[in-house]
Structure 1
Amino acid sequence: MNLLKSTGTIGGLTMVSRILGFGREMLTSRILGASNATDAFVVAFRLPNTFRRLFGEGAFSAGFVPLFSQRLHGENGAEEARKFSEEVLAVFLPTLIIFTLVFQVIMGPFVAALSGYVGDKLEFTTFLTRITFPYLLLISLVSLFSGILNSLTRFTAAAFAPALLNLMMMLALLVVPDGGKPSATALAVAVTVGGVIQLALLLIATKRAGISLRLRRPRMTPGVRQFVRVVIPATLGAGVYQISAFIDTFFLTRLGTGAPSYFNFADRLNQLPLGVIGAALGTAILPQISRHVGAGEPDKAATIQAQAAELAMLLCLPAALALCAAAGPLVGALFQGGRFSAEDTAITAQVLAIIVLGLPAYVLVKVLTPGFYSRQDTGTPVKIAALVLVANVVLNFALIPVFGIAGLSAVVAFTSWLNCAILYVILHRRGHFRMPGWLMTRILRQFLAGGVMVAAIYGVRLVIGDWFTGGFGHRILGLGALIGSGLAVYFPLVWVLGGVDKEAFRTLLRRKKPVADAG
């Protein structure tokens, strides 16, 4: 499958989910504001999401997708792949159930240690977390079925599934718009209900793709042992990243009321290009790189990574620069109103302008790590992640007492670049991936086009500055002018400067539209 088409399918549907996510956050900011109830929900939602990234998306895909793909394209094809999936499910499901039950028991002390909350705020945060935590089990199973569908190059259902969660959360806020504890509780319930609906969609899509899994008795078969050998280092590596997320939460909850909310709203904007570009590219290239590596074609695998890096920077670089340059107007237009004040907007915009500086690096990490995972080397990223974690902790302790939430945001951006740099250096030294000259030249031209775009955005801000302090309608119109001017400058200029493979895009435009994959 063509990389642009695969990324476009995943990214386009992910964009739908992200837009709905903005709708959800716009409702949340206006109904709940940056309050104690919002902070409690942010922590309650962050915990299962953090463990989801540990058990689900990254580690599970890193172990499952290459092994599933090998069986799918090997002897007995789909039948062998289905058997392997059933064997993994038989061990994965009870593990998740036990983990979820254990955390339900220890939730109070765990939340207290993580957040530092006491009294009513601790009690309410623990209550919400007990409601949201089953989402971990549900979404981890979604990751399994997504891995199957992605290996079959059927990306649609898996990419659309997150939109269902956002729809349920928006519905909860519309049904319970009172603010405070009632709205936060409705949001928590919607998280788990949304997980049930997502799992149902993926089960149906997998069945339509011709693979129906039945429950087996848990057994450590050769396939499961192979999976465990690959996924445990990846889980440890993901665990290091999630410890970093817990550390961020630890500091945020101690910065006073509103800090978790500010970071959450800023990160929602930061996550748009991360999800649309980074996750889409990582999902699209892992099966392709695994196939070429398995076939003894390392040059083709490296070419796919280079093409993915070019596409990542082409789309991510202007997004990061624009988010930084237009942080204030963007946050004001989307979130300000109701219980979310102009002061809340200013703090959130400051956080956003800093964390997006690490955005290109974070997306490039999604491009570089498949170079390890496709070779079943999940140990090296673990060591790198551990080193980055140490830097994260040291820098947080050094900068937060001086700069507060801005210091934490700077650490997030810097450690993203540190992780990216180390991954690339190791791949380069092993001869698995070296940035070709044509890629470096195009990225430099993309930077030049991005610089001109930033100048254009600041120029528009000077001309229509009064719009951004007016009513909601004026703020939205001003935001549209900023976005429009950025797009009008960057993409034509990057085309003229040669910051993109023109022939590849011409070929894509000339190609007849293929029949869409079912599912």
Structure 2
Amino acid sequence: MRLTTTHKMGFAALIMAGSVFLSRLMGLVRDKVVSWQFGAGAESDVYFAAFVVPDFLNYLLAGGYISITLIPLLSKRFEEDEADGWRFFSSVFWWAALGIAALTAGAWLFAPELARLVGPGFSPEKQARLTYFLRIILPAQVFFLPGACVSALLYIRRQFLAPALTPLVYNGCIIAGGLLVSGRGMEGFCWGVLFGAATGAFLLPVMAARARGGRLPDGVPGGLHLVFSLRHPLLKRFLLLALPLMLGVSIVAMDEQFVRIFGSMAGEGAVSLLSYARRIMLVPVGVVAQAAGVASFPFLAALAARGDDAGFDATLGTALRGSLMVVIPLTAYMLAVALPTLGLIFEGGRFSAEETVLAAPLLQLLLLSVPFWVVQQVIGRAFYARQNTLTPAVVGTLATLAALPVYPLAVKLWGAFGVALLTTLSLFAYTLALSFFWVRKHGSDAFTGMGLLLLKSLLLVLPGTLLALAAVHFLPHRLPGWFPGLYAYLPAALRHAVICGVAGLAFAVTYLPLARLFMAEALCL
């Protein structure tokens, strides 16, 4: 049976969704180890803050978007002239490697000054510790960017397995480092970051690329043929596409950094609590939003290259509708069980029940942003598929600049709660503006039926959400009376798991029949 483009895109999305889900799961395991050993305190605050500068350097060179700018150009060049395609790829690879190496070296030298900049609310002792962590983690960026170039090559070949395994290896190394290096605070986790970047982000995709030689079934060249070259006619076009991503400051890329920077001003433990809550929020974002965006992009790029506008709009609409039909009920359920979810995953060791209660409203606020993540991830890649990186960059920069001066006020008024609230509102504004400019430039065909879908989805999840919330509220008070002998001996994590399970059952038996009656397409994904 010949697979259609929709089937292929769906299969690719499933691979990426599975990878992201396992990666997020490992990320939660990693943070569970952190929370168990260090809770929400000074050492964990410093550890989370240590990623601000490295992540910004990666973003500055468009590391997270290297495949977006490279895939359309390299795909076309390979079709026209394979040998010249490899010369173009080599030029991008070496410029990326040299650029990130130079920036990393500069940041390493000025680590003390950068520590004061990203941890303005930290004490001098915490800033000194932050400097030490920075100098361990920073060199990891040298592996991320060149590895992203090789992963882009694998995406062109529709080889999703190695890029899918990359975050799993990376997170596995961090966990191993934290467990193996004891008695030195969180230093072991930092060494795990460096080793994970070298093996997972670089060596793994390189080995995967080299393993498939010759020409592949789709006509794409296999192997990995690098030559040292810093000049190519297409470099200018590549830089013109990448420059807006380098210079444009997107609220999507910076929200985690703002959480850490402004969280440091909200008191001890705020950075950690916000980071733990954000980690859980990123599970549906990664499984649905990022997977849909990554998987749809090669297909959208191919349709744009062929000038198939009708097919492009249909594929974009399918990606948007399918993602939202999955993410809205998932988000509604997670909103209801925010507190027991935090308790199940993090509570124990040095992470207390009181910290679970403090983190729950932060998680609920951040979860409200998940549907907006879905839309902006897919629409953003639709812009990139049409080789328009300027519009998302300008819109993202304006949204970030508008939010930046409000963060100190939000922290002053509401502390960590204000950081979470402003993050969600900023993402909503960015998504709305990005969608507006897409419709203005390319029409609204991709959004056909979207309003009705959203309305139906929200109405259908409402009864189940209310029932799940009731279960979360009443069960902790009722279960001890119903099962006095058993409940007293249950560990806290198991109690939270029971509540999540009962609430999930209540949500499912309410939502699924309604969805079957009024939105059967949601059950056919």
Q: TM-score scaled by structure 1?
A: 0.90
Paired residues of 2:23 and 2:167 also in contact (CA < 8 A): yes
- CA deviation vs aligned residue, 1:384-431 (integer Å, no higher than 9, x gap): 012101221243233221111111111111111111111111111112
**Closer/same/farther in 2, CA of residues 345 and 307 from structure 1, 3 Å limit:** same
Q: Letter of the aligned partner of 2:461 in structure 1?
A: G
Matched, 1:66 2:77: no
How far off its partner does 1:493 sit? 3.0
Per-residue deviation, 1:315 = 1.7
Equivalent positions of 1:427-466 (< 5 A) are 427-466=438-477
Q: Which moved more, 1:459-468 or 1:320-329?
A: 459-468
User: 1:43-91 CA deviation, whole Å, 9 max, x = no partner?
Assistant: 113432343344355432221122122224x323x54443321121121
1:131-210 → structure 2 map (5 Å cutoff)? 131-176=136-181, 178=183, 182-198=184-200, 199-210=202-213
Amino acid corresponding to residue 132 of structure 1 in structure 2: I
Contact 1:131 1:189 in 2 (8 A): yes
Contact 1:306–1:436 (Cα < 8 Å) also in 2 = yes
Contact map agreement 1:90 1:215 (CA 8 A) in 2: no
Contact map agreement 2:259 2:420 (CA 8 A) in 1: no
Residue 236 of structure 1 corresponds to 247
User: Is the Cα contact below 8 Å between 1:282 and 1:366 reproduced in 2?
Assistant: yes
Name the residue aligned to 2:127.
122
**Deviation sequence 1:9-64 (CA, Å, 0-9, x none):** 11012111111111111111111111111111111134323433443554322211
Q: Kindly tell me: are residues 58 and 190 of structure 1, through their superposed partners in 2, closer, same or farther at Cα, counting changes over 3 Å?
A: closer
Q: Distance in 2 between matches of 1:432 and 1:447?
A: 25
Q: Determine if the alignment matches structure 1 residue 335 to structure 2 residue 332.
A: no
| Equivalent residue letter for 2:155 | N
Query: Which position in structure 2 is the counterpart of 1:349?
Result: 360
Contact 2:249 2:397 in 1 (8 A): no
Unaligned runs of 5+ in 1: 506-519
CA distance in 2, matches of 1:278, 1:11: 9
Q: How many residues align?
A: 499
Please name the residue that 1:38 is paired with. Answer: 44
Quickly say closer, same or farther: Cα 1:487–1:69, change in 2 above 3 A.
farther
Note closer, same or farther for the CA distance 1:50–1:319 as it changes in structure 2 (3 Å cut): farther
Matched to 2:49, the amino acid is V
What does 1:91-490 correspond to in 2, within 5 Å?
A: 91-116=95-120, 117-176=122-181, 178=183, 182-198=184-200, 199-210=202-213, 211-238=222-249, 242=253, 245-466=256-477, 471-490=492-511
Structure 2 SS opposite 1:464: helix
Q: CA deviation at 1:448?
A: 1.8
Shift of 1:377: 1.3
Unaligned runs of 5+ residues in structure 2 are: 214-221, 481-486
Q: Is the 8 A contact 2:96 2:145 kept in 1?
A: no
Match of 1:514 in 2: none
1:496 aligns with 2:517: yes
Distance in structure 2 (CA, Å) of the matches to 1:446 and 1:499:
11
Whether the 8 Å contact between 1:230 and 1:378 is mirrored in structure 2 is yes
Distance 2:357 2:474 in 1: 20
Which stretch of the first structure deviates more once superposed, 130-139 or 188-197?
Answer: 130-139
Question: Match of 1:271, as an amino acid?
Answer: L
Is the contact between residue 266 and residue 411 of structure 2 (CA under 8 Å) also seen in structure 1?
A: no
Other structure's SS at 1:122 match:
helix
> Does the 8 A contact of 2:331 with 2:368 survive in 1?
yes
Residue aligning to 2:57: 51
Residue in 1 aligned with 2:216? none
Q: Distance in 2 between matches of 1:137 and 1:499?
A: 48
Contact kept, 8 Å, 1:445 with 1:499, in 2: the verdict is: no
Percent of counterpart pairs with the same letter?
21
> Using the alignment, how far apart are the partners of 2:322 and 2:119 within structure 1?
39
Pairwise CA distance, 1:195: 0.7
Q: Is the 8 A contact 1:266 1:352 kept in 2?
A: yes
Q: TM-score, normalised by structure 2?
A: 0.89
